[in-house]
């Protein structure tokens, strides 16, 4: 994504007696702030939203200075216009859903209707918070924050404690809201899955420092991400466009290559984010006919990394220039005499490709998972 | 049936205790909210001051009121000139009772305000909800059960008040003689055992009525907020 940043953050605060310093730019769309527990994610969210005052530095959002130590009086939380949805939905139990939404709401009736429709909360308006399920309460909390028309919406682990199906729903909702309303979202999480399913950009945080930043694809393949989040096989992320259907399979195009994947009903032209695990890619020196593997993409080895047990082969696809990772045993690596510069075929089973995000209109409007 | 002395004492007790509770309640709510939500230098001093009536003998409170507000001098004389002197009047009994009930009310209500999760306050901040709206729509209804129990406790304390009342308002039948004071007089009088026993039983009526009322209101509030409130 080449969009311009919407904000800049450069703040310091104390974390367990040591000084934490986070500096990054905020991009439009959904940005995941990901890191292990205790990395300073929630503290950073509280600093941004103005709930924690003991931070110094600079925060700029949409051209407005929210904090600048020593120069201006900081803009306190009320004027910051930053929405915050915390781990607990914190719906006010003394009023129904509609009153919760409208207490700080600034939306017009039409905008509210749209918000309620996207989030599927229209039927909940008369209900009291105590009667809502966990998933419903999270959705209402998100609607309440969005109804205040924030310049930035911070979601602090909004999917905690939800079952996988509800998590998927919320992730789809976050993405859909961010793209349909144009409100930038900072999604705080320690789950890789949430970053992959919902975010466009990512900030990896540890010990109060931003250790990696960029697109989700870039942050995923950064070695720090794997070590901090304990990921065994980060795999590769690819953006593909649905170009057709064949024998109950989707034909997608990634650069100049064609990739067959399972058909979940995505429309032609939809943009998909796909993940292929390194262990699901086999390598062959020749194109193989008569085998079940449908996808055989030609690539050139750019690097080989040896671990204790196996070898990770990094390849650049010949037609598209995209990168893939394949994990094979050391024995296979030695037997095939692999080295950088070799050209090979990457064998990928269609059913091994995992679809993370589908943007039906090509990634600019709402999304569906 | 009740005797005229008993009816007068019961009526006066209800008037004194209700006045004391109703007048003290808004001050107790404001003080409790202030103490629950703000940190400031000298907070411990204010806290101690409010709790003095709980820890000193009630007669001391009555004595201090008498010294301060008796029509013989200072503030008391000025109030007497204005025709507002509370000493030796039912209003004085209400003032003494209210003062004795106040710390109990503040304690109970403050605990309710402190029990409100800080997340509501955080969310309200980020939604730019004005302070007064936040208090009126969130904190106050959430503290309802604490306010209710504080009010009942305060009422019970006010209706049972003896030491401060007898010292400040004296024990004048029909004027300042509340139920406990009438009971005291009956118990002191030769052959007053029966009258004392009847008055002791009579003391139970307002106490039980207030407990029933509070339980009913509490259940109604709980139904409105749902099971998790």
Residue B33: the pLDDT is 95
Calculate how close chain B gets to A60, using CA atoms only, in Å: 17
pLDDT of residue A365 exceeding 60 = no
Does A82 sit within 8 Å of B123, measured CB to CB? no
pLDDT of residue A125 exceeding 60 = yes
Calculate how close chain B gets to A278, using CA atoms only, in Å: 42
What ipTM did this prediction achieve?
0.77
Calculate how close chain A gets to B25, using CA atoms only, in Å: 21
The DSSP H or E segment spanning A45 is helix A41-49
Q: What is the mean pLDDT of chain A?
A: 87
Q: Strand A152-156 to strand A82-85: parallel, antiparallel, or no bridges (unpaired)? A: parallel
Residues in chain B: 229
Residue B224: the pLDDT is 67
Calculate how close chain B gets to A105, using CA atoms only, in Å: 8
Q: Is A79 on the interface with B (CB under 8 A)?
A: yes
Give CA–CA dist A299/A221, Å, rounded.
18
Out of B137, B141, B229, closest to residue A103 by CB? B137
Evaluate whether A337 touches A346 at the Cβ level (below 8 Å): no
Q: Summarize the confidence of residues A68-75 as an average pLDDT.
A: 66
Residue A2: the pLDDT is 58
Residue from B112, B119, B122, B127 to probe the interface with A (highest A Cβ count within 10 Å) = B127
CB atoms within 10 A of CB A184: 25
**pLDDT digits over B92-106, tens only?**
999 999 999 999 999
Evaluate whether A93 touches A162 at the Cβ level (below 8 Å): no
**What DSSP line would sit under A316-349, residue for residue?**
EETTT--EEEEEEEHHHHHHTT--TT-EEEEEE-
Residue A19: the pLDDT is 85
Chain A (300-319) residues lying within 8 Å, Cβ to Cβ, of chain B: none
Does A103 sit within 8 Å of B225, measured CB to CB? no
pLDDT of residue A81 exceeding 90 = no
Q: Is B138 on the interface with A (CB under 8 A)?
A: yes
Residue from A61, A93, A140, A183 to probe the interface with B (highest B Cβ count within 10 Å) = A93
Residue A251: the pLDDT is 94
Sheet containing strand A18-26, edge to edge, reads A18-26, A7-15, A56-61, A64-68
Q: Is A77 on the interface with B (CB under 8 A)?
A: yes
Q: What percent of chain A has pLDDT over 70?
A: 94
Give CA–CA dist B145/B108, Å, rounded.
9
Residue B229: the pLDDT is 39
C-alpha distances out from residue A223 to A161, A211, A219, A227, Å: 28, 11, 9, 6
Give CA–CA dist A6/A63, Å, rounded.
8
Give CA–CA dist A312/A323, Å, rounded.
13
Out of A50, A90, A104, closest to residue B129 by CB? A104
pLDDT of residue A72 exceeding 70 = no
**pLDDT digits over A238-255, tens only?**
889 999 999 889 999 998
Q: Write a three-state SS string for chain B.
A: CCCHHHHHHHHHHHHHHHHHHHHHHHHHHHHHHHHHHCCCCCHHHHHHHHHHHHHCCHHHHHHHHHHHHCCCCHHHHHHHHCCCCCCCCHHHHHHHHHHHHHHHHHHHHHHHHHCCCHHHHHHHHHCCCCHHHHHHHHHHHHCHHHHHHHHHHHHHHHHCCCHHHHHHCCCCCCCCCCHHHHHHHHHHCCCCHHHHHHHHHHHHHHHHHHHHHHHHHHHHHHHHHCCCC
pLDDT band at B46 (very low <50, low <70, confident <90, very high): very high
Residue A73: the pLDDT is 60
In angstroms and rounded to an integer, the radius of gyration of the C-alpha atoms of chain A is: 23
Evaluate whether B38 touches B113 at the Cβ level (below 8 Å): no
Out of B120, B122, B228, closest to residue A92 by CB? B120
Give all strands (DSSP E) within chain A, no chain letters: 7-15, 18-26, 30-34, 56-61, 64-68, 82-85, 152-156, 185-189, 201-206, 209-215, 236-246, 249-254, 257-262, 271-276, 281-284, 295-306, 310-317, 323-329, 343-348, 354-359
**pLDDT digits over B106-142, tens only?**
999 999 999 999 999 999 989 989 989 999 999 999 9
pLDDT band at A74 (very low <50, low <70, confident <90, very high): low
pTM score: 0.80
**pLDDT digits over B133-158, tens only?**
999 999 999 998 889 989 998 998 99
Output the six-digit token pair for A8.
Answer: 């800049």
Closest CA to B66 of B166, B177, B200: B166
pLDDT of residue B209 exceeding 90 = no
Residue from B39, B124, B126 to probe the interface with A (highest A Cβ count within 10 Å) = B126
Question: φ, ψ for residue A317 (rounded to 5)?
Answer: -65, 135
Does A94 sit within 8 Å of B225, measured CB to CB? yes
Output the six-digit token pair for A31.
Answer: 């940005």
pLDDT band at B228 (very low <50, low <70, confident <90, very high): very low
């Amino acid at each position: 994504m080449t969009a311009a940043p919407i904000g800049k953050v450069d703040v310091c605060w104390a974390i367990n007696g040591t000084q934490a310093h986070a500096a990054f730019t905020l991009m439009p769309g959904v940005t995941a702030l990901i890191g292990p527990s205790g990395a300073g994610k929630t503290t950073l969210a509280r600093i941004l939203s103005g709930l924690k005052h003991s931070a110094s530095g600079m925060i700029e959002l949409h051209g407005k200075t929210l904090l600048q130590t020593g120069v201006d009086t900081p803009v306190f939380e009320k004027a910051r216009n930053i929405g915050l949805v915390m781990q607990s939905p914190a719906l006010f139990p003394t009023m129904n859903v509609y009153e919760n939404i409208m207490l700080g709401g600034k939306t017009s009736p039409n905008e509210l209707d749209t918000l309620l429709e996207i989030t599927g909360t229209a039927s909940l308006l008369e209900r009291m918070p105590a009667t809502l399920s966990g998933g419903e309460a999270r959705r209402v909390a998100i609607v309440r924050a969005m109804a205040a028309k924030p310049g930035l919406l911070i979601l602090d682990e909004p999917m905690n404690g939800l079952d996988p199906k509800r998590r998927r729903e919320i992730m789809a909702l976050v993405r859909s809201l961010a793209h349909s309303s144009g409100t930038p979202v900072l999604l705080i999480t320690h789950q890789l899955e949430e970053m992959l399913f919902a975010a466009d950009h990512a900030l990896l945080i540890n010990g109060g420092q931003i250790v990696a930043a960029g697109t989700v694809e870039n942050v995923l393949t950064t070695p720090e991400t794997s070590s901090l989040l304990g990921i065994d096989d980060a795999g590769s992320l690819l953006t593909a466009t649905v170009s057709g259907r064949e024998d109950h399979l989707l034909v997608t195009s990634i650069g100049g290559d064609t990739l067959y994947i399972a058909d979940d009903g995505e429309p032609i032209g939809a943009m998909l984010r796909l993940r292929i695990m390194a262990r699901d890619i086999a390598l062959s020196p020749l194109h193989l006919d008569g085998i079940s593997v449908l996808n055989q993409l030609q690539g050139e080895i750019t690097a080989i990394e040896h671990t204790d047990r196996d070898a990770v082969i990094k390849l650049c696809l010949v037609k598209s220039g995209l990168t893939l990772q394949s994990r094979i045993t050391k024995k296979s690596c030695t037997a095939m005499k692999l080295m950088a510069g070799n050209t090979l075929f990457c064998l990928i089973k269609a059913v091994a490709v995992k679809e993370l995000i589908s943007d039906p209109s090509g990634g600019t409007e709402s999304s569906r998972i | 049936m009740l005797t005229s002395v008993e009816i007068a004492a019961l009526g006066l007790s209800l008037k004194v205790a209700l006045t004391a509770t109703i007048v003290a309640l808004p001050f107790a709510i404001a003080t409790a909210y202030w103490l629950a939500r703000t940190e400031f230098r000298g907070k411990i001093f204010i806290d101690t001051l409010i709790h003095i009536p709980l820890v000193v003998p009630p007669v001391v409170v009555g004595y201090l009121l008498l010294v301060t507000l008796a029509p013989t001098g200072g503030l008391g004389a000025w109030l007497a000139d204005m025709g507002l002197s509370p000493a030796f009047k039912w209003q004085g009994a209400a003032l003494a009772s209210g003062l004795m009930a106040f710390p109990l009310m503040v304690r109970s209500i403050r605990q309710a305000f402190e029990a409100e999760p800080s997340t509501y306050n955080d969310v309200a901040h980020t939604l730019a909800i004005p302070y007064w709206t936040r208090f009126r729509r969130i904190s106050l209804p959430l503290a309802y059960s604490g306010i209710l129990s504080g009010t009942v406790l305060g009422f019970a304390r006010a209706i049972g008040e003896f030491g401060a009342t007898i010292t400040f308002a004296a024990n004048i039948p029909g004027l300042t003689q509340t139920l406990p004071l009438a009971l005291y007089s009956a118990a002191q009088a030769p052959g007053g055992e029966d009258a004392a026993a009847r008055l002791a039983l009579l003391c139970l009526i307002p106490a039980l009525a207030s407990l029933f009322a509070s339980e009913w209101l509490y259940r109604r509030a709980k139904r409105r907020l749902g099971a998790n409130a």
